[in-house]
Amino acid sequence: MGAIPTPCLCLVTDGRFWQPDPRELERKVDLALQGGVDLVQLREKDLAGGTLLEVARGLRRVTQGRALLFVNERVDVAVACGADGVQLGEEGLPVEAARRAAGPGMLVGRSVHTVEGAVTAEGEGADLLLVGAVFPTQSHAGARPAGTGLLAEAAGRVKIPLAGIGGITAANVGEVMEAGATGAAVIRAVLGAEDPRRAAQELRNAMDEAVEAVKARPVSGAGRGAR
């Protein structure tokens, strides 16, 4: 089981940017890893189990030794492809059930939308939280974004790695890190870019610069990012 890096740049997949050719997804993920992505989450809710496993195995080959691989919800597929972790929705399996099914070597993430959800997930034993949506996002059009205030509140209440998700770009990822997050998850900003490697590199640079700026500030009591 690999440790979740800090800061962590996570890439979440979306079939709109690669279907029907899994090789296109592998190509884009490979470029994104070259640009600095640390974790890839395979999230393809419309794929049947067999097809999903085939895609997962392809991503495992690309990410092996280079980045962590999480599979969304499907613990069975995560185990079968040798993934590092499984990402659970807020209404998904209990963390304990997922870990029991996957074995102690599997990391378990939880996607949450409230501070209470973050605290609960940590109490259940989650290893990683995805918190959002932080900014307006086409993935959840019409949903009201939570803003960075949710990240700041959650960061002040939990100790496990916490990544913001939703509408994050190189232009605003600094706000995410300044709010106390230890990472950021993106979809369109990388998969929808003409050059995924360059897009990931720009995000990585902006993220790292923000982290260094936070470290350089005087210590205060406002959340993890200030410590």
Indicate the pTM of the whole model. 0.93
Question: 11: closest CA among 48, 45, 30?
Answer: 30
Mean per-residue pLDDT for 21-41?
98
Q: How far is CA 51 from CA 44, 56, 103, in A?
A: 10, 9, 23
End-to-end, the C-alpha distance of the chain in Å comes to 27
Please, where are the H alpha helices in 64-147? 75-81, 95-102, 115-124
Amino acid at 42: L
- Which of the four pLDDT bands, split at 50, 70 and 90, describes residue 226? very low
Question: Per-domain residue ranges for the chain?
Answer: 8-217
Q: Quick one: pLDDT at residue 218?
A: 83
Cβ atoms of residues 121 and 95 within 8 Å: yes
Q: What is the mean pLDDT of the chain?
A: 94
CA distance 105 to 65: 16
Query: What CATH number labels 8-217?
Result: 3.20.20.70
Mean per-residue pLDDT for 87-107?
94
Cβ atoms of residues 162 and 185 within 8 Å: no
Amino acid at 154: A
